[in-house]
Amino acid sequence: MTPLLKVSGVRTFYGAIEALRGVDIEVAEGEIVTLIGSNGAGKSTLLMTICGNPQARAGEIRFADRDITRFRTWDIVRLGIAQTPEGRRIFPRMTVLENLQMGAVANPDADFDDGVRRAFELFPVLGQRRNQSGGTLSGGEQQMLAIARALISRPKLLLLDEPSLGLAPRLARQIFAVLREINRASGTTIFLVEQNAYHALRLCHRGYVLANGVVTLEGTGSELLQNPAVQAAYLGGTGQ
């Protein structure tokens, strides 16, 4: 079976700076795949390149057997790739419900009421705050809203950029638990970029390690957790 998302030989530049130097990644349907790496490794750049902004200068990105390398962001999203961009980016002056409504843009056919019901099941606190404006939510609630908003369109693939950033450990664990639940209950494929390597690797089926714009390691989550190099560099081992 062909993978749902296949990134092959992707090179992305910011001006003359090469941020991704030939990245190959595959995500199969129903998987949770995580990408870890240090600051500036190119993790967010890879996610953004998948979404077409910036576009890859070389290589190919295929989604559901379709070449999307040259698509514009909004068209890619409409194919069924939802993403929560880095920094949550909820609409602060709009209410929780209005934020969720914006999630329906990518797929007008999805049942909105049902989507809202599912969102409030996953994140009961959002249900309590449904008429509150997004800017009044706490950081964790905003992250939940960003995830819930991305799920409204019932995407095939959910891209997440650092969902645990800036959250208290308990909230981060809660977010990861919900991600597992989303994957288990509706079979949504998840591709997750994280700095919190420990949680991410425990959550995922498979993982990739990105360093200086290339994939240096790949394997199942537990393999990577056991890997001494990963432990040293990303899990707070004794740095080499």
Partner 1 sequence: MRPPFASPLLRDAVLVAGIAGVLAFPFVGLLLTTQGTAPTLSTRFPEFAGAVVLIFFGRLGISAARRGHSLFPIVLGIAMATVGAFSLLFETTGMAADSAAPWHAFVPGTFLATVASAGGVAIAVVAGRNHLLRDSVPVAQKPLPMKQLLLWTGIALAGVAIVLPLLPAVDRRLIDVATLVLTYVMLGWGLNIVVGLAGLLDLGYVAFYAVGAYSYALLSVTFGWSFWVCLPLAGALAALFGILLGFPVLRLRGDYLAIVTLGFGEMIRIILLNWYDFTNGPDGISNIGRPSFFGFQFAAKPAEGTESFHTLFGIAYDPVHRLIFLYYLILALALLTNAFTLRIRRLPVGRAWEALREDEIACRSLGVNPRNTKLSAFAIGAMFAGFAGSFFATRQGFVSPESFTFIESAILVAIVVLGGMGSQIGVAVAAIILVGLPEYFRELQEYRMLAFGMGMVLIMLWRPGGLLTHREPTIRTRPQPASA
The structure tokens listed for 125 are 């606190």
Polymer length of the chain = 240
Burial of residue 238 (CB within 10 Å: 0-12, 13-18, 19+) is exposed
Binding of partner 1 by 109 (CB under 8 A): no
Number of residues that bind partner 1 (CB under 8 A): 42
Binding of partner 1 by 113 (CB under 8 A): yes
Binding of partner 1 by 110 (CB under 8 A): no
Q: Across the beta sheet with 214-220, what order do the strands follow?
A: 81-84, 157-161, 189-194, 32-36, 206-211, 214-220
With vertex at residue 39, the alpha carbon angle to CA 36 and CA 44, rounded to the nearest 5 degrees, is 65
Minimum Å gap between C-beta 204 and partner 1 is 22
Minimum Å gap between C-beta 190 and partner 1 is 16
Cα 210 to Cα 19, 69, 152, 187, 214, distances in angstroms? 11, 20, 30, 26, 6
> Between residue 130 and residue 169, which ones bind partner 1 under the rule CB under 8 A?
130-131, 133, 149-150, 153
Cβ closer to partner 1: 85 or 219? 85
Cβ closer to partner 1: 84 or 196? 84
Binding of partner 1 by 14 (CB under 8 A): no
Q: Is the dihedral of CA 94, 164, 20, 50 positive or negative?
A: negative
Q: In the stretch 22-61, what mask flags binding to partner 1 with x, by CB under 8 A?
A: -----------------------------x-x--------
The structure tokens listed for 175 are 């977010």
Minimum Å gap between C-beta 217 and partner 1 is 28
With vertex at residue 201, the alpha carbon angle to CA 198 and CA 205, rounded to the nearest 5 degrees, is 165
The structure tokens listed for 198 are 């420990």
The residue to which tokens 């707070």 are assigned: 236
Cβ closer to partner 1: 146 or 224? 146
Query: Rounded to an integer, what distance in angstroms lies between the CA atom of residue 130 and that of residue 145?
Result: 10
Minimum Å gap between C-beta 119 and partner 1 is 8
Q: Which of 3, 103, 140, 163 binds partner 1 (CB under 8 A)?
A: 103
Binding of partner 1 by 117 (CB under 8 A): yes
Minimum Å gap between C-beta 173 and partner 1 is 22
How does DSSP classify residue 132?
S
Binding of partner 1 by 90 (CB under 8 A): yes
Minimum Å gap between C-beta 153 and partner 1 is 7
Q: Which residues bind partner 1 (CB under 8 A)?
A: 51, 53, 72-74, 77-78, 82-85, 89-95, 97-98, 101-108, 113, 116-117, 120-121, 124, 127-128, 130-131, 133, 149-150, 153
